[in-house]
Each structure stands twice: as structure tokens, then as C-alpha cells.
Chains A and B, each alone.
Chain A
């Protein structure tokens, strides 16, 4: 893994590389994520395990999109990070490189309002389509933005 990281450092001079708690991490500029993902897949990171985001409210840029990849021969994970700001929370989608990215990118959009350009079908996935706000943002209150509408029991037809 150390050798691979050294090689990656050489291949991507604009990518910051660090190791913390035994886990390797690359911080990738937003517009380079597709190139880096393609290169990593070619170098053996075959499994895209997870995509999620972290809201670091108060920091700039505010959001971190976090990818976890797995190398099958080296049996190790690699974390990719892309920082995006809240004015334009947008970054290229990697669905073209890893089909597994489809749903988790939708989840990030749903929960954080981060847009993935080039995603084939960027809709809400867990929340209802007409939901307001993005629940996992730190400024979204835990009880929700407004009280739940009262429960109405529909009358049976003809009854």
C-alpha cells in the first residue's frame, strides 16, 4: 500500500495524500475527481464501497464528499475526499466509472443537497419527492422544519 501511495503521489501532484489511524486518504480537487477515480480503478481499486458526505458547518468549504474504495489484491481501503462549498455544492458524478455510485450519490443529494453533475437520474431516494430541505445538514433541526401534518383517515369509498 505504501508503494502504491507513493506512485499515486507522483501521478497526481495536485492531490493531498495522508495516512491517519492506519487509513490512507486522498483529498482531490473537485474537477479532478473523475480522472482520479478512473486512474484508481485502473490501478486495482475495483470496488467502490461507499459514498457519503460530512457537513462541517462553519468551515469553508463546508461539505466533504467521502468515497471509500477497496483494493482487491492489497486488501485495503482508500478514502477519497472532495471538498465542496455551500454556494455551489456541485461536483462531477463517478457513475460512469463505478456504476455502484448511482444510489449513494442520490442519497448524498437527498440528505445534503450536493449535486452530482452527469448523474443519470439525480432524484431524492430516501425522502419523499416533495420534501423540503436536506435532513443531514447541520442547520436542519432534528424534529424537522415544520410539524407533521395531522393524520387523516380516508373514508372508504361509497361508505
Chain B
């Protein structure tokens, strides 16, 4: 932290400090410029852009199918939700509908990565508050989820498992058992997290009443997801605008009314329970049958077929050398990401590359309201507030 002294208009000496960009509690490379009067925050300005990698520009240079790898790197803590939102947009432009089995598998992965994302949030924000053990217990469970990613996609962190028109591959044998083993074991760990934190006096002292936002303020600043639900509005796109067969599953949308950091904590923990419920239902009712569209303009033929049929080989070659054409038009597709409404605005111009892709990263909008949360509070509460907003800088800066 670099500190400089400035004289405030009131004549009181204010101290200006930079929290970040390299600081463990900023969860990445966020820089927050704070103006302090003693320990009190008088002004706060988040300064972003340190992780800007030009993803939206790069999109315009790649085929639609190739660009999926970019979406992983937007919110790298829950990559499969990003995949989903992008492929939904492109499929809508193409007018393609994927089979039920594929939709269910997408739901399974979207929910598992929601849990994975919430585990990172819980572990790191507990560590910010000085609690070391939850971090290890969270990461240990997250490892199991990454194992599942690895089983299905071969990669742990940036799986790029989804494809326009389907998936990279069907679920591998043994996946279901392993996923069920996680589902059976995880409730015990949720109880452990609760046991460690829920009534922990330090946790409560730091969180209850901290960084409070009213529902009106939250709506004004475009808050979505768990943050909005902690303010009392149960808006969840999985219920209000279901996609990928979410209407088939039974689950509740947890809400709280206090709008403080503790309410956000409670909402997210209950969301993990609901995600478990959804994954269990999806596994129980997983339909048999095709897991990608039978449309060779979009999805390549099976590898075995390529070895035997000239025509299949040609389709495969064309698809990977010149991509597929997407009709001109524009579409906004949104999913309920772990951090809020994750939207993808895709403009097609009739060629094989998108004319423009814009990603509405929920963290970008959520972070914008940080000054409102922390003004007048204590310096230490800034750390709690940043943790509770659950930012991923890859998504803020893109």
C-alpha cells in the first residue's frame, strides 16, 4: 500500500491509499483508491483495467467455434457458465436447438461450476476475515469438481467443454458415480462450513450490517444474482427466463432481506444446496440419446465416421478450415451465472466470424457500486465488501 497525505476541503488531513493492484484481498488485480480520515473511508474509487486482455476484440478474429476458448477466460472461476451463455447466443442466431440430453448435461456442469465458484468465494472471503481453515476445506471440495471437469473435458481449469450445437464429448463412463459421490459427500462439508462460520463471533462481528445496500440502490446499480437476492428480490433467470431446460427441475430461489455481507453469505450457501438438488435431478432423469445436433453445417461428424466416409471427412475439413456461416442478426442471451446475470450480445454479419461479441460480466456492474457500500465505513470493512461482491477481474476487465 502506498500512502500519500492530502488535505481535505474541511482542513482535516486525509490519507489517500492504494489498496492493490497487488493485494491478496482484492482477489486479483483490482486497485481501490481510498481516501481515509483515520480509519474511516471518506471516498473510494475502484480502478480497473489491469487485467484487460482485449477478449472482445479477439472474438472478432476467430470462428464462432474457436471463440469458445475465450469465454472460459472471462470468468475463469466458473468457465462453464460462460461457455453456456455464449453457445446459447450463437445457437439462437443459427436457429439450432440441442437435444435434451445435451441440455441436461449442460445444466449439470453449469450447476457444478456454480458450486465451484461459490467455494472459491467462500474460501477466499473467509480467509480475508482471518479464518484460514475454511479455505482449505473449500479448495479440497473444489478439487473434486475440477476432477469432474477433467473427466469430461480433459482439462481442469478452462475446460471449454461446450460446443455450438452440443458438447465436446458425451459424459465419460464412470462420471455419474463420481458425480454422485460428490453430491453425497458435499452436504456434510456444507455443514462443516456452517459450523465453522455461522455463529462464529468474529465472522458475525465483521459481516452483520457491513456494506449494506437497499433494494433500490441495488436495482439502480444493475446488481443481479446473489447480491440482488440478498437485498430481498428473488430474481433468478433460471426461474424467470428458463434456458437449457431449467424449467424441468425443482429448486428454490433463496433470498434474504438485510442486504448486508452476512445476507450474501447466507444466500450463497443456500444456493449451493439448491445446485446440489438440481444436479441430482438432472442425473436421475438424464435422457439417453444424442448429445449434439445432427446438423453437419454446425457440428462435425463422429471421428469413426470420418475414417470411413469421404463425405464426412469433407464436412469435417470444411468445418475446421472455414467455420460455419451464421446468418446476420443480433441476439442477447443471458444465463444466471454464479455472480449474477451473465449476458452475451452477439452480432452476426453472415460470415464465419462474429462482427461483435460483448459480454455483460456481472462483476463489472456489481463492482461499480463498491463506493456506495463502503462510504463512511471502516477500512477493514472494504475488504469484507470486496469479498462479498465476489468479483472476478477477468470478467470485470475482459
Contacts and interface: CB of A to CB of B under 8 A. Distances in A.
Contacts of A50: 222, 332, 343, 345, 358, 360
A68 to B, nearest CB: 6
Given A21-B92, A48-B222, A125 B56 contact: no
Interface string B54-91: 10111001000000000000000000000000000000
Contacts of B332: 23, 50, 68, 77, 79
A116 B23 CA distance: 33
Given A98-B220, A135-B54, A142-B58, A103 B364 contact: yes
Interface residues of B, number: 37
Contacts of A142: 57-58, 61
B370 to A, nearest CB: 11
Interface size class on chain A is: 35 or more
A49 interface: yes
B235 interface: yes
Contact of B329 (A20, A47, A49, A98): A20
A157 to B, nearest CB: 15
Given A46-B219, A102-B368, A103-B365, A52 B358 contact: yes
A148 interface: no
Contacts of A99: 220-221
Contact of B397 (A111, A126, A128): A126
Contacts of A127: 49, 52
A107 to B, nearest CB: 8
Given A20-B329, A49-B343, A102-B368, A136 B222 contact: no
A91 to B, nearest CB: 18
Interface string A80-120: 00000000000000000011101110000001000000000
A68 B368 contact: no
User: What's the dominant secondary structure at chain B's contact region?
Assistant: mixed
A75 interface: yes
A66 interface: yes
B57 A135 contact: yes
Given A68-B345, A135-B54, A125 B358 contact: no
Nearest to B56: A136
B356 A55 contact: yes
B74 to A, nearest CB: 14
Contacts of A98: 220, 222
A16 interface: no
B197 interface: no
B151 interface: no
Given A100-B365, A142-B58, A47 B224 contact: yes
Contacts of B240: 75
A77 B344 CA distance: 13
A50 B224 CA distance: 12
B355 interface: yes
A153 to B, nearest CB: 17
Interface in B233-284: 233, 235, 240-241
Interface of A: 20-21, 23, 46-50, 52, 54-56, 66, 68, 72, 75-77, 79, 98-100, 102-104, 111, 124-128, 135-136, 140, 142
Given A20-B330, A72-B235, 17 more contacts: A23-B331, A47-B219, A50-B222, A50-B358, A54-B356, A55-B356, A68-B360, A76-B241, A77-B332, A79-B332, A100-B365, A103-B368, A124-B49, A125-B49, A126-B48, A126-B49, A126-B398
18 contacts: A21-B92, A23-B331, A47-B219, A49-B360, A55-B356, A56-B355, A66-B345, A68-B343, A75-B241, A98-B222, A100-B222, A100-B365, A103-B364, A103-B365, A125-B49, A127-B52, A135-B57, A140-B57
